[in-house]
Amino acid sequence: MNCPEHYFDDLLLFFEGWPLELGLYQGLYELLDSARLPGVSVHVQKSQLSFYGRHLFAAASLPLRRKKSWPEHCLVVTVGLNRRLDSPRVAAAVEPYPGRWTHHILVSEPEQLDEELLAWLREAYEFSESKR
């Protein structure tokens, strides 16, 4: 996976004070990196870590606006798909445009960084690559 020059420094700043979430993110990064998707890069931004192919296809963020039912420590993984996922793992799903669904998936345990999540990340990548 391609990373900008200051990625690691920016990553540590992003997760400052959030060590458990940093560990979950590192697992997510390794999971996505293992998929060997062509041309994928990651960028640390102010509110999220964004994963790009030709277009943005997924993101990871901290749960700064946490719902009471959410775990105390978790990472929010966001994927964009052309369909609504029917899974209890999806904390929220919205359709901002017809045929484009944004899903927020909570990851609170390393075991949740699994093949199902990887399949959704791959699907999001393929969907984003199909856009003009």
Per the structure, the complete domain to which residue 60 belongs is given by 7-129
Going by pLDDT thresholds of 50, 70 and 90, the confidence category of residue 128 is very high
> Percent of the chain, pLDDT > 90?
89
In this prediction, residues 7-27 reach a mean pLDDT of: 97
Rounded CA gap, 91 and 68, in Å?
12
The reply to whether 2 falls in a domain is no
**1 domain residue, yes or no:** no
Does residue 44 fall inside a structural domain? yes
DSSP type of residue 37: -
Question: Residue 19: inside a domain, yes or no?
Answer: yes
| pLDDT score, position 114 | 97
In the numeric block, which tokens belong to residue 55?
């277009």
Query: Does pLDDT of 132 surpass 90?
Result: no
